[in-house]
Structure 1
Amino acid sequence: MKKNALLMAILMISVFVLGVTLNTRIAVEANNKAVDVVLDYPEFRDMAKQSDETLSWWFEKFAGLGVEYVGLQEETLESLLLENKQLEVLMGWQLLQEADWREKYPSEVAVYVDNKEVSEFDVFVATKSKEVFDFIRHGFTSRYASEKLEILSQEEYYAILLKGTMRDALYRNNYTLVDMDLKLSSPRHKPHSSKLMQVGLGFDREKINTIQQSGLKVLARPYTYREWMSEEYLKVTFEDLEAYDMKPPVFIFSGGEVLGYPVADDMLTRYMIENDIKAGLIETSVQRSHINLDGIDLLVRSLNYNAVRVFSVWPYIQQRFGYYNYEAAEEIENTLYRAVTERNIRFIYFKPFKVDQLSTRYNQFIYITDYNAYEEMFHRFENRIADHGMILGRSSSLEPIRVRIAKQTLMGWGIVAAGVLLLNYLLKLNNKIKYGLLAAGLLFVPAGFVVRPMLMDKVMAMGAAIIFPSLGMVYFCNRCFQYIYREPKEERLYKQILYAVKDLVVISAISLLGGLFVAGILSHIEYLLEMDIFRGVKISQLIPMVLFIGVYIAYFGYKRKIHYNHQPVLSYRDIKTFLLEDIKIIYVLLGVIVLGVGYVYLARTGHETNIQASTMELIIRNILEENLLARPRTKEFLIAFPILMLGIYLAKNKIKSFVFLLGLVAVIGQTSIVNTFSHLRTPVYLSFIRTLYALLIGIIMGILYILVFEAGKRLFLKIRDIKILQ
């Protein structure tokens, strides 16, 4: 310590700044405790049709469960067709291919077609219902430029032509044509449909009344097509929101862009600021970041991050009724619980449960229409989130926390000091090189934050995620070296266990410091909202394993005898011997196994891989989650932490043979600690509790492993002695 006094001093100052930064973040997270649940109108309408009750009855029931809003999208030609309105919609080329179109439709249609060319990209709309026609006509004429449509007939058989372009066309691409020799043919297809069918026409007053008369409010979801976007559309939409008392607390945008983008997004921003409306960031189905809508990040920044993360109950989640040996909606409840407690979700777009797929082709399901199933799930869910101080209500949002460059720099200096410390343990640097590296690092950090702040914070977080678990394993190797070569053998088992517990706690504390550095230096609001993410998770789990090999060789050498007065250093001779080692078949087989295990370990990190936990493991996870405030990580408490304790126990018994392999497994637990805090959307307190649970349970499992090993060792010695006597 005396030789590294300057490094330790810088690290201590950095830790103090880290504490101040984390205190600010924790305070911000503590004020973000209200969760909103909004019902999806189309899904509940379809569910109500399968039940014995009306849609209004269902809405009234959910109003008593803490639900305040029902999400309602604007009507479109597509939605009108799906609701079986009296309506015909044809592409321009389809109209002209109908043999009797001149006789079937009003004469005005034929006159228009004869005088002006109808494009294959145009959309022809016809209806005999005046009510439907008036709604469509008002929707188009009040919102969009007159040159984009032509009203062909306004009597008896009403007709409108929407003028489309190639950019509006939608084509089928799910089939191919082949000849007799099975050679592919690529014909040019006519457009199957058009994006103009998804252009917003306004809200259905009858649906609005159904929702409002049930005691709920309308969460309006206006939507239109980018090519038809205009300030006039936004003006009419805002007037409708005011007129029907359905100004939303959160805008959840549909389509591929935010409302008004790209021609009138500033108008939307002003309206949202004036009315304190949050932007909804819809989490992707793989639970990572949010759906990328054009203009969404710019909008959130313009609103000073007045935004909320939205969890949509995706179809695969709706179908988890009676899942994982549960009788009802417990697994769906678990999914919602994880979303709000672990991922900063404060807005749930809720859809009813589904079972028994009726038709794979048409994706039709039977809904659960037992109200008790929903009531029980909501009550359990509300009670569980109450343990975290959360309530159901108007969704809260995170304050726009930012970490100033001065704080980032000071924290970065601590990471640099820790990095120099790690190199010194490996290479035994002389003072000139050691302090030269330190000076270079101290200059590089502020320069990096000034030039590329959003890159530099990731670089420093990556450094912390690699350096501190590696320092923890330096401590592991140091203690094992001391126990094996320099300290007398400890005969008493309970003291061996105490040493193992103590060393596990110290090593984990070092790694925990790395996790806290990641959580502190990446405390910017964009990370908490997952507008930006820390992409170094997998590599920060791999590199410490490689570094551990170097640390182990530095302490124990490679194929050479170690004396008690050996000074640990990674020597050229050890590296050369290692690199020039004759490769035996057994080494290759072991390498393949290690690589396979490593791949599975890294691939299972996250939700974007087909390699997932087994059903049994998921059931065990659920049991832990239901009984603890945070579910500890299985690989920590069941494998890595107990294995580390077993390694210390063997070292205390002067058994060196398995220290390397056990240490290699133990690294997984230390990198996992940092990985827990690298999930920046998770509140710091929850990550800390999760790690603490894993450590406590891991200690218990470690003691059990040691006792089993000790019993096995004594049994082996007893059998050996009996054979000798015989």
Structure 2
Amino acid sequence: MKQFKYNKFLILLIVIGLLASLVIDVERHQVEQQNKSIELVMDYEDLVELAEKEGVQPEAVLAKAKEAGVTSLAVYETTFKKLNVNGKAVAVNGSTILANYQNGGISDAGWRSLVESGQIKGTNVYVTGHHQQTFQEVHEDLVRRLGADRVKELTVSGQRVLEVKANYEELEKMDLGMPTDEMQAVNDAGFYVLARPTNYRQCTRDDIDAFYDRLDGFRVSGIVFSGSQTLGAPDESEYMAEQMLKRDLTLGMIEGVTQLQFFHQDGMLEIAKAMDYKSARLYSIPKDEQKKMKIAEAIDRWGTTDDERNIRFNLVKTFEKPSPGMTLLETNMTYVSGVRDKLEAQGFTMGRAGVFEHFYPSSMVRALVILGVVAAGVLYLTLVIPGMKPRYAYGLLLIIGAVALLPVLMGHGSKIRLVAALVAANVFPAISVLWMLDRIRGRMAAGNAGLVRMIGTGVVALAVCGIMSYVGAAYLSGSLADTEYLLEVNIFRGIKLTFLMPIVLVAIGFLQRFDVFDGKMDDTEGFLEQFKKMLDTPVKVKTLLGLFLVLVAGVVFVARSGHTMGMPVSATELKFRAFLEQAMYARPRTKEFMIGHPAFLLAVMAWFRKWPTMVLFVLVLVATIGQGSMVETFAHMRSPVFMSFARGIGGLVLGAGVGAVCMIFVDLWIKYVAPKLATGKK
């Protein structure tokens, strides 16, 4: 029987690296616990529209929103489309003025004189205003966006008029700067302003200063840019960031539609970096999705979102239809207050959006983590290469360690850290499963053990294996954890690979230990020989069909993981997930408690009952899915480390229960059903 020795020196390095990882993970947990403030935001325009629909004054709706827990109101740049509605400024196409003159619709002598003298151009737009402050702000911004040569001021019957050379349809939608009247109304109602500016074409520092001139004097909590560019892009992002820091403003980074990283805005990452990531993630339930949701479902969504994805700007959109027995205003205020109560019950506070403190662990501590990962990789090689001499292992450790540690010690090594995380996510689950295989080979004799003993042995083995896999999770987090990963500015690129690679690594190790064809631990054959034999084995059509089904299952397995493949989830499963989210601190992953962990217990049963080695092989590979998933959970760095830990524990507990039930059913089948079927065939 082939013997594989667990090199004590390599294990010592792994233990040292584990301690370093835990130091980083504890520090990470403390940083995450200090960031618990949620900024509950609604759009000012939405609340004004809600007041119009309900036939009440906007001030009354704003007061109710404040009472419901809203912290800030998002204020967007004004447009002529909005100004034409509120009457503070009006833009009229020159062709419309000429048509009204022809129809006798112009009674003002000043306008008639302009038309008759040929000064009114049908292709121009004419702007009048009944609110002097708004008119002045519109004038200033039109000059910035179009140039002074395209904006001319006239006086008609003692009133200021702007003649603008522009297409009317485009001008109507053009952003015209932050409206001070709206920001004043927001502050007067007791809210912070969350500014939503757009960028200027060929933006200059003067344009940025003009933007801040509008903001200065108001209570503004942060800035969330609108459109595909940030204000200041592409050349003045650092100046924009400098001015934000000067005013203690928080940058809001809009989460992407796939719930991964961010909506792309040119200049956003440059501003975030220049601000030392004084930034917070923003999320809003899509309107088309919210239409299909009940209030309780939307409230639960916010609870899960803020807990699991480090969202700190909650941009809450209004429901467009009232719930049964409530007015539209009551519906929305019930919704908002429910979100507040839910979050406060989860330990959050309402206020300005929380930001992570500067979190970049010591290079020396990180280097110990990297060294531990290298040791784990070398240890795995010793567990799949029989008779590998220690001097070769130490040589590999020295060479790879030197290459990996130098950049990290110099304060760089971002790519090395990513590779280390990838190795940890794949190697540690494989080592944990191989260690368990070696243990049962050396100490646990196969035989007709009782069901209770098999279940007990399986549960204990699963727990021990899970603990060993958690070592890999600690390493993964310790390799990556810093402010940029917590904000998801950087992400772990390799999640899809971690779904399959641990299975491959375990398969190699298994075939080095077991002969899947005759069930013996043969010293003369290993992975390569058995793999060649598999390739040479004649295949029946039903076997091809089975392999095809396995392939389909594998595609579904990979596609359903992550956020980018778009594999749909059934309504029944969504309800089951919602139940688990309510019942447990963190919802366990289905692939763990429904697939991987039950297969682990069945593999123990397969060993005791002397099932064909090929069956044991398949069960072990499926069991590896659960161990790999436990580690891969920690690759989602935006999720708090304690939540990832709790998610894995929940998966182990549920998985052990499901696995025990499966063992009972299999035992009953073997004892009572299979004999009858065999008798019937005879």
The answer to whether TM tops 0.5 is: yes
Q: CA deviation at 1:614?
A: 0.8
Cα deviation code 1:190-248 (max 9, x no counterpart): x995489433334151x345434433343333334233x333333333233234x23x1
* 2:603 pairs with 1:647: yes
Cα deviation code 1:421-468 (max 9, x no counterpart): 112211222334322222222112124545962222111111111111
Give the equivalent residue in structure 2 for 1:556.
514
AA aligned opposite 1:443: A
* 2:184 pairs with 1:237: no
- For the residue of structure 1 that corresponds to 2:226, the secondary structure is coil
Q: Is the contact made by 2:40 and 2:72 (CA closer than 8 Å) also made in structure 1? A: yes
Question: Which residue, out of 245, 265, 270, partners 2:242?
Answer: 270
- For the residue of structure 2 that corresponds to 1:249, the secondary structure is strand
* 2:372 pairs with 1:414: yes
User: Cα–Cα, structure 1 residues 495 and 567, in superposed 2: closer, same or farther, change >3 Å?
Assistant: farther
AA aligned opposite 1:528: L
Q: What is the count of residue pairs matched by the alignment?
A: 666
Cα deviation code 1:504-552 (max 9, x no counterpart): 1122222222122111111121111111111110111111222232222
Q: Is the contact made by 2:54 and 2:329 (CA closer than 8 Å) also made in structure 1? A: no
- For the residue of structure 2 that corresponds to 1:310, the secondary structure is strand
AA aligned opposite 1:214: A
Cα deviation code 1:311-358 (max 9, x no counterpart): 123213431333xxxxxx1221122112210011111111112359xx
Q: Percent of pairs identical after alignment?
A: 25
Q: Is the contact made by 1:468 and 1:510 (CA closer than 8 Å) also made in structure 2? A: yes
Give the equivalent residue in structure 1 for 2:639.
682
Question: Which residue, out of 386, 389, 396, partners 1:430?
Answer: 389
- For the residue of structure 2 that corresponds to 1:226, the secondary structure is coil
| 2: CA distance, partners of 1:627 / 1:20 | 31
Q: Is the contact made by 1:26 and 1:683 (CA closer than 8 Å) also made in structure 2? A: yes
Q: CA deviation at 1:146?
A: 5.2
* 2:415 pairs with 1:455: yes
Give the equivalent residue in structure 2 for 1:316.
288
| Segment of structure 1 superposing worse, 338-347 or 546-555 | 546-555
Q: Is the contact made by 1:149 and 1:160 (CA closer than 8 Å) also made in structure 2? A: no
Q: Is the contact made by 2:455 and 2:660 (CA closer than 8 Å) also made in structure 1? A: yes
* 2:482 pairs with 1:524: yes
Q: Is the contact made by 1:34 and 1:394 (CA closer than 8 Å) also made in structure 2? A: yes
| Segment of structure 1 superposing worse, 439-448 or 286-295 | 439-448
- For the residue of structure 2 that corresponds to 1:697, the secondary structure is helix
Give the equivalent residue in structure 1 for 2:53.
50
TM-score by length of 2: 0.88
| 2: CA distance, partners of 1:342 / 1:256 | 27
Q: CA deviation at 1:137?
A: 4.9
| 2: CA distance, partners of 1:683 / 1:568 | 48
| 1: CA distance, partners of 2:283 / 2:459 | 41
Give the equivalent residue in structure 2 for 1:514.
472
- For the residue of structure 1 that corresponds to 2:449, the secondary structure is coil
Give the equivalent residue in structure 2 for 1:66.
69
Q: Is the contact made by 1:354 and 1:368 (CA closer than 8 Å) also made in structure 2? A: no
Q: Is the contact made by 1:38 and 1:350 (CA closer than 8 Å) also made in structure 2? A: yes
Give the equivalent residue in structure 2 for 1:171.
none
| 2: CA distance, partners of 1:106 / 1:231 | 42
User: Cα–Cα, structure 1 residues 213 and 448, in superposed 2: closer, same or farther, change >3 Å?
Assistant: closer
1:574-723 alignment, distance < 5 Å: 574-656=530-612, 657-716=614-673, 719=676
Q: Is the contact made by 1:621 and 1:631 (CA closer than 8 Å) also made in structure 2? A: yes
Consecutive unaligned residues of structure 2, counting only runs of 5 or more, are none
AA aligned opposite 1:352: T
Give the equivalent residue in structure 2 for 1:177.
none
Q: Is the contact made by 2:200 and 2:207 (CA closer than 8 Å) also made in structure 1? A: no
| 1: CA distance, partners of 2:337 / 2:183 | 27
* 2:184 pairs with 1:218: no
Cα deviation code 1:356-391 (max 9, x no counterpart): 9xxxxxxxx999844444454445444443454222
Q: CA deviation at 1:471?
A: 1.4
Consecutive unaligned residues of structure 1, counting only runs of 5 or more, are 165-190, 323-328, 357-364
The structure, 1 or 2, with the larger RCO (C-alpha pairs under 8 Å, 6+ apart) is: 2
User: Cα–Cα, structure 1 residues 411 and 128, in superposed 2: closer, same or farther, change >3 Å?
Assistant: closer
1:456-475 alignment, distance < 5 Å: 456-475=416-435
Cα deviation code 1:250-277 (max 9, x no counterpart): 1111122222334544443232222211
Q: Is the contact made by 1:473 and 1:507 (CA closer than 8 Å) also made in structure 2? A: yes
Q: CA deviation at 1:575?
A: 2.8
- For the residue of structure 1 that corresponds to 2:511, the secondary structure is helix
| 2: CA distance, partners of 1:419 / 1:717 | 44
| Segment of structure 1 superposing worse, 473-482 or 617-626 | 473-482
Give the equivalent residue in structure 2 for 1:134.
135
Give the equivalent residue in structure 2 for 1:21.
24
User: Cα–Cα, structure 1 residues 336 and 261, in superposed 2: closer, same or farther, change >3 Å?
Assistant: same
Give the equivalent residue in structure 2 for 1:533.
491
RMSD between superposed Cα atoms in Å: 3.4
AA aligned opposite 1:491: A
TM-score by length of 1: 0.83
AA aligned opposite 2:462: L
| 1: CA distance, partners of 2:119 / 2:362 | 65
Q: CA deviation at 1:675?
A: 1.9
AA aligned opposite 2:379: L
Q: Is the contact made by 1:198 and 1:224 (CA closer than 8 Å) also made in structure 2? A: no
1:243-282 alignment, distance < 5 Å: 243=217, 245-246=218-219, 248-282=220-254
AA aligned opposite 1:299: I
1:295-306 alignment, distance < 5 Å: 295-306=267-278
Q: Is the contact made by 1:200 and 1:223 (CA closer than 8 Å) also made in structure 2? A: no
Give the equivalent residue in structure 2 for 1:342.
308
- For the residue of structure 1 that corresponds to 2:124, the secondary structure is strand
Cα deviation code 1:132-162 (max 9, x no counterpart): 8834653337856853532163315976455
- For the residue of structure 2 that corresponds to 1:321, the secondary structure is coil
| 1: CA distance, partners of 2:476 / 2:126 | 60
Q: CA deviation at 1:86?
A: 6.5
User: Cα–Cα, structure 1 residues 304 and 610, in superposed 2: closer, same or farther, change >3 Å?
Assistant: closer
| 2: CA distance, partners of 1:148 / 1:474 | 76
Q: CA deviation at 1:58?
A: 1.9
| 2: CA distance, partners of 1:319 / 1:367 | 18
User: Cα–Cα, structure 1 residues 195 and 468, in superposed 2: closer, same or farther, change >3 Å?
Assistant: farther
| 1: CA distance, partners of 2:269 / 2:416 | 20
Cα deviation code 1:45-89 (max 9, x no counterpart): 223322243332221112112222211112123443566776446
Q: Is the contact made by 2:17 and 2:371 (CA closer than 8 Å) also made in structure 1? A: yes
Question: Which residue, out of 203, 221, 225, partners 2:179?
Answer: 203
Q: Is the contact made by 1:426 and 1:569 (CA closer than 8 Å) also made in structure 2? A: no
Q: Is the contact made by 2:600 and 2:619 (CA closer than 8 Å) also made in structure 1? A: yes
Q: Is the contact made by 1:553 and 1:570 (CA closer than 8 Å) also made in structure 2? A: yes
Q: Is the contact made by 1:199 and 1:225 (CA closer than 8 Å) also made in structure 2? A: no
AA aligned opposite 1:11: I
| 2: CA distance, partners of 1:71 / 1:309 | 15
- For the residue of structure 1 that corresponds to 2:68, the secondary structure is coil
Give the equivalent residue in structure 2 for 1:7.
10
Q: Is the contact made by 1:466 and 1:544 (CA closer than 8 Å) also made in structure 2? A: yes
Give the equivalent residue in structure 1 for 2:38.
35
| 2: CA distance, partners of 1:409 / 1:568 | 40
| 2: CA distance, partners of 1:711 / 1:75 | 72
| 2: CA distance, partners of 1:711 / 1:70 | 62
Give the equivalent residue in structure 1 for 2:526.
570
1:89-128 alignment, distance < 5 Å: 124-127=124-127
- For the residue of structure 1 that corresponds to 2:216, the secondary structure is helix
Q: Is the contact made by 2:596 and 2:625 (CA closer than 8 Å) also made in structure 1? A: yes
Give the equivalent residue in structure 1 for 2:154.
153
AA aligned opposite 2:174: Q
AA aligned opposite 2:281: R
Question: Which residue, out of 419, 426, 445, partners 1:487?
Answer: 445
